[in-house]
Structure formats: structure tokens, C-alpha cells
Structure 1
Amino acid sequence: MLNSWEAHFRRIHVLKFTTDDAAIVSASDDSGVSVWSVASLIDNQLQHELPVPYCNLSDHTLPVLDVVCGSGLFPDCRLVTSSQDHSVKVWDLSSPSRPLLGTFTFPHAIQMVTMDSAQRVIFAASGAGHVHRINLFKPDENHRSMGNTSSSEAEIVIGQPITSLCISYTCTNLLVGTASGSILVYDLESHQLLRSIATHKDKGLAVVYLRCMLKPIDHDTKEKDPIPLRPVIPFQRMRDLKARETHQVMMLIPPQFEEPKLQGLNSDELLAGQAYFLNSESHSRRMGMGAGSNARVTELEEQVAQLRAALGHAKGINDSMWETMVHTLIPKSSPTPGGDYMAVDSSPAGRKRARKAN
């Protein structure tokens, strides 16, 4: 066993794989539907971690009874769910938000659903013996053929409890399994009963599962038409030594392809032309790079001159502020005997301050 986990809070009703077997869908009595990635479930590195579902679909209010996975590779596919809340819902897994595309309500609880491979029509069956048809396309109101059904004809009354439901491999017939053991075959468009198979009717066994597949050629019960078996015998050249030597291939000649030749030009002329274009391109590139570098140097020199002028202006402002602070704000007084005084050098070389003792 690769993995075991608690997927739902209550009993699980149905488990379905997607068409590419990349994901498994579980539906439970807790009215929830969970989609699990098979790759994450069987990953050895995630065996000691709790599996996380790919998404949870929780719009039903009562237990979910059946799930149908549409055509397409996971997650580019759709899901159809049926519940005891008398509704059938269509979901889109390809979008990141997993939106609910549509909800269809019925007068009975829907026990099972099925959908054709082209995703054009959905059949929903109730336990009371009613099969409802849901068209996923808008019919043309101006055109009506013999096979089309109106809204009043979109229901098939079986008259007995339905236990299984499926569509044929060619999407032309609808197969309904009943609790009495009979299988009813209906035309998908006209809803006409074509055939009734009552193999299990006398035994009182219900048909709980139906699936259609292509009929193999060897699965035929008619003994009067046996399938001929062709014996596998060696070829004539393998039995006869002379025929074998005649048909034996001694050497395989490799294919020879002639390279196309340019008329009127030799290799020297081609090389000379190539060198001319390469030299012209490199010369123009060098000229362009030289002009660009000279312009850049000129621009940098202008920026340096502007910065020097700004620095000199800032230095002049600083000097004027210092002179104002020294000569205006500091009061002039006679030096105190035995005290220290500050000498200010106002020469242009700089402002030097020193402390002198009397």
C-alpha cells in the first residue's frame, strides 16, 4: 500500500479517475468533492506528510452521490457532480479559481449522471425511475429534425428504480440498468427504446455497473463462424539455401548528395567580399565608438567644472558666515588678567584659532 489518508469527514460515495488517470476525484456524505493528484499521492518523499487536495468543490448542501470526469488532460477538464439536494453542477478545473459553470435543479434527488465524450449532453437519473436530459449547447430554433427533442421530451420514464447509467462508445445509445436486472438501450437523440436485455432479470439481480467498449473480434459466441487462425511459417528464402543467398544483402550503399554550387563565383571571390563587408562594419563600429567616447569625455569635463564652481561658492558662503559669527555676535571685552583669550587669524590663507595665556 502506497498511501492511506482521511479524505473526508463522512462516508465516501464515489471515487473516479480522470480520463488520463492523473487525478482522482472523491465525493462524500459531507457534501464535499475533493480532487487529488495521483503524482503527489504516490511520491515517496511525501509519504510522511498529510496529502493536500488539488482543490475542493463545496457548493452542494447534501451528500454527493455521483461524479463524472469530462474529456481532456488534467487539469484541463470539467467535472459533473450530482447530489441529494436535487441538483447537478458543472465545474471547470482549468481555471485557477475552479469556477462553477452551471447548476441544474430537478424535482428528484439525482442518483447518477453520465456525459458523452464530446461534452454536449448530460443524462441525470433519479432513483424513482426518471432520466433527465441536459443539453450543454443552444439548439437552433429555426431548425428541427426528426432526432431533436423539445423541452417536454427531455425526460425518459423508466418505470422502475435505476441502478446504473452509461452512454455507448459511439455516443449513439443510452444504456440504463435497472434494479430488476434488465438493461434498456435507448436512442440518444430520439429517446426511443431500441432493445431490452433481460439476462439477469429472472435471477433478481440488479445491474449496478455498466460500461461499453469496442467488441473484439474473438469475443463471439457463434460457433458456426470460427475465426481462422493463420499459422506462422518460415519464409521460403529461409528454408531454401539458394533463395537465401539470392536475397541476401551484402552491402548497403550510403546515399550520396551533391552539394549545390554557385555558378559564376569561386571561393576566393566569396572570401574577398566577406572580408570587405566585415572590415567596413568593424571600421564603422570603431568610428561610432570613438565619437561616442569623445562626447562622453566632454560631458564629464563640463560636470567637473560645474562641481568646482559650486564648491568655491559654498566655501565663500562658509567664510562669510564665520566672519559674521566672530566679529558681530561675540562681544568685545578686555582680556582678564591671568585668563586665556582666543586669537583669531583673519588672514586669507585660512582661519586659525589659538588659545594664549597672559
Structure 2
Amino acid sequence: MAAPLEVIVSSDSSAQLWNISVFDLHSGSSLLSYRGGNSAARTLTVLSGEYLLSAQLGKNFINVWEIQRKDQLQQKIVCPGVVTCLTASHNGLFLATGVGEAVYLWEVCTGKLLSVLSRHYQDITCLKFTDDNSHFISGGKDNLALVWSLHSVIQLDISHTPEPRHVLSRHTLPITDLHCGLMGPQARVATSSLDQTVKVWELSSGELLLSVLFDVAVMSVTFDPCEYFIFCGGSDGNIFQVSLCSQTLGREKSFQSDNEGNQVFRGHRNLVTCLSVSLDGTLLLSGSHDETVRLWDVQSKQSIRCLTHKGPVTNAIIMAAPANMFLPDSRPAVPLPRFSRHLHASEGDGAEMGEVCIRLGLHAKDEEETFLQKADRLNSLMNAVTDKSVFGDGENTKVRVSELEEEVQTLKKVNKDLYDFSCQLLTKPT
């Protein structure tokens, strides 16, 4: 059987059979299952198409699987506290987690903790990157959604405390979910809340574009890929489809089912915590605390498949299948490093001998002398001193030549050790 283009990835809080399971989108057949622990809500993410990550429910660590090795955990990333939400940038360079009231941002290639953003006043509930990775948005129990510019968060001046680009503060109760559309910094962002509203914002200006009031608290929200509709999961088990192309659409409205695209999907018996739409916009996936994941036909509003779980569903997404998910002999190109738990890593914490750290923005620092520049400088010094010794500049110059030759040999050895270490790190089997 050919590998599917899109798959369903889901988890539940009981983890009696598996932690995370992968299903075929069109047939519903089980393809893979990842074992070990169980996953907290809004913490399931794929990193660089090579690793599957999810935070342990109620614990302070993240479970990591190589995406093609399903039977055992490969690594655990220990965090400073219980992880409430987790997301990775689409390019795989950064990992962001919500731990209590703070956002922790790591650089994946080095494991360095780049920033701790303590701007929320209560626990963070959801995190999302924009599709171009230029911004990310955090929502919390303090009723706030904060828009962060990534370049301002990872800037080199550690004495400057980053501030959010926009503070979205029109909700009156905790934010339960958020979804970021396409178009990078020009995207639209939808937020859902226990205040029974879903609000749509313009990311570039922070302006509120639309507020829709429902009869129940809204637990999840998503757009279709073309952003014709918003899908909102209610606490009563219903899923509400709101048309964004209605002729009568105003800045604020109350949801009413009609013939202009505002419809209701009925089938779940408990609150709907997860929503996801297929790439072509024809299928809607929902996960609920009634221990089921349902697949819906968007046009007919009919449930076409029900996947039964053993506990309340915590994560359910439709995603493009990574290229090596079904290739058991494949391995990640680069292994994950050990992630630091401290913002300013002290000696011995993430600063082991042999660690290589590549950092952008070196133009902002004083230019350091490279190894080749240092070797050239020492060589010219040695030649000059040798010339002096030939012309009888005394015994001291001969001693200096010997010292410089020893230093050159030491530098050559350091360079060889660094090269051998890099080769071993990049080629060793996992």
C-alpha cells in the first residue's frame, strides 16, 4: 500500500493502548502507534518532520519519538515545570512551551534556552507559530492573547526584556484555543474563550475584525485552508460553522444557523477540545471528551467515521504525512541535543566540552579572530622572528620561535579534535 498523503494523529488521557496513534485519513485504518506515557492537551507537535513530541500529562517533561521508531521513547526533555502547551516552528528551528505563566523558547540545534517570556498573569493554555515563523501567539487563562515577534524575542541584548507586539485583550474569560491562518504577518488569528465568544483578529495591527457570540462556552477553534469558514467546538458537543463570506456579516454578531453557511455539526456528547481541517477543506476532524474522534464531511455536515478511544481525547490533528514516517530504516539527519533548563546556562549545564554553537547575528558583536586568521598571524610572526634569528638577534628569539611552534601544534591538534568530534556527532547511528 502506498504511503498516505494525509494522516490523523490523535491521543487520549488514558493511554491504555498507546500514547499516540496514527490513522489513515480516508480508510480510518490504524497505521502506527507510539507507546510510553500519555499526552497533555495542545502539546502534540512534529519537529522538522523527524521527531514527534508531546508533553507528559501533569508532568514536567516532554516525550520524544523518532517519527519512524514507534515502539520506544527516544528521549525526554525535562522542563522547569508542568508543560501546559507546546509547539514547534514550521522550519524546525525553535521549540516553544508554556510552563505555568511563562513561555520558554529553545533553539533546537543547540538546546539553548533563548528566552523566558513572563508577560501572562495566569497559566498559558495555547501557543501557535505563524506559517512563516516570524511571529508566535500565546493565549492564557488571564483572558489575554499576546502576539510576539520572533526576532525581538531572540535578539542578542539580554538586558532588554522583550515585549509583545500586540496584546489582544477583548475576552472576558480564559482563552481555550487559538488558530493562526496563512499569510505570515498579514494573517488572521481566531481565539476561542469560555466567555462564549470567538474573535478574529488582524495580526499585523492587532485590530479586532469579528466577534461571534454563542450560547455555550467554546473550547476549540480552527479555519478552513481558504478561510471561508471558522469551525468552533462547543462545550455541549456541537461544532459550529461560521461563514466569513456572509453578506450580512458585521463586526459583532450572535451565531444563528441559517442558509448562508452558518451550520451545526451534531454527534459528540461532550465538549469538543480539538478541531482540524484537511488540506483540501472537505473534511473536518474533531476530538471530544466523549472519548471519540470524528471525521466529518464539511459540505453535508455528516459524520463519516468515528474512531473510539479509551479516554477523553487530548489531541487530534490532520497533517501531511512526513516523508520518513513509514520508512523504518530511516534516521533523523541530526540528533536532538540536551535541552537547557536555565536561561543563562552555567558551567556544566549545556556547556560541555566539544559543544558547537552556531548563532546568527555575529555582525552585532565584535568580530572574533578565526582559526585560519590566527594561524596566518602566528605564521607571519614566526617567519619574522626566524629572520631575526638568522641575522643574529640572540638566543631569546630562538626560544620564542620554539614557543610559537608549540602553539601552532596545539592549535592543529585542537582543530583535528574538533573535526573528529563533529564527524562522530553527525554520523553516529542512533
1:212 and 2:318 aligned: yes
Percent of residue pairs identical: 31
Counterpart code for 2:232:
A
Residues 127/218 of structure 1: CA separation in 2 closer, same or farther (3 Å cut): same
Equivalent position of 1:107 in the other structure: 215
Q: Match of 1:40, SS?
A: helix
Structure 2 distance, partners of 1:138, 1:180, is: 32
Q: Match of 1:210, SS?
A: strand
Equivalent position of 2:265 in the other structure: 156
* Alignment match of 1:26 (pick from 102, 121, 138): 138
Which runs of no fewer than 5 residues in structure 1 stay unpaired?
Answer: 141-147, 222-358
Structure 2 distance, partners of 1:153, 1:100, is: 20
Within 5 Å, which residues of 2 pair with 1:56-205? 56-74=167-185, 76-95=186-205, 98-138=206-246, 150=259, 154-161=263-270, 162-198=272-308, 201=309, 204-205=310-311
Structure 2 distance, partners of 1:159, 1:5, is: 37
Residues 111/48 of structure 1: CA separation in 2 closer, same or farther (3 Å cut): same
Counterpart code for 1:86:
Q
Q: Match of 1:67, SS?
A: strand
Which has the larger helix fraction?
1
Across the two proteins, how many residue pairs are aligned to each other? 206
Structure 1 distance, partners of 2:126, 2:292, is: 23
1:44 and 2:156 aligned: yes
Q: Could you state the TM-score of these two structures normalised by the residue count of structure 1?
A: 0.53
Counterpart code for 2:237:
G
Asked if 2 retains the 8 angstrom alpha-carbon contact of 1:149 and 1:190, the reply is no
Structure 1 distance, partners of 2:202, 2:320, is: 29
Structure 1 distance, partners of 2:263, 2:209, is: 21
Structure 1 distance, partners of 2:165, 2:262, is: 39
Structure 2 distance, partners of 1:135, 1:170, is: 17
Within 5 Å, which residues of 2 pair with 1:301-316? none
**Once superposed, what is the RMSD of the aligned Cα atoms?**
2.5
Counterpart code for 2:259:
S
Report the alpha carbon displacement of residue 104 of structure 1 after superposing the two structures with TM. 0.4
Counterpart code for 1:62:
L
Q: Could you state the TM-score of these two structures normalised by the residue count of structure 2?
A: 0.45
Report the alpha carbon displacement of residue 126 of structure 1 after superposing the two structures with TM. 1.2
Residues 94/216 of structure 1: CA separation in 2 closer, same or farther (3 Å cut): closer
Asked if 2 retains the 8 angstrom alpha-carbon contact of 1:8 and 1:28, the reply is yes
Which runs of no fewer than 5 residues in structure 2 stay unpaired?
Answer: 1-112, 249-256, 328-430
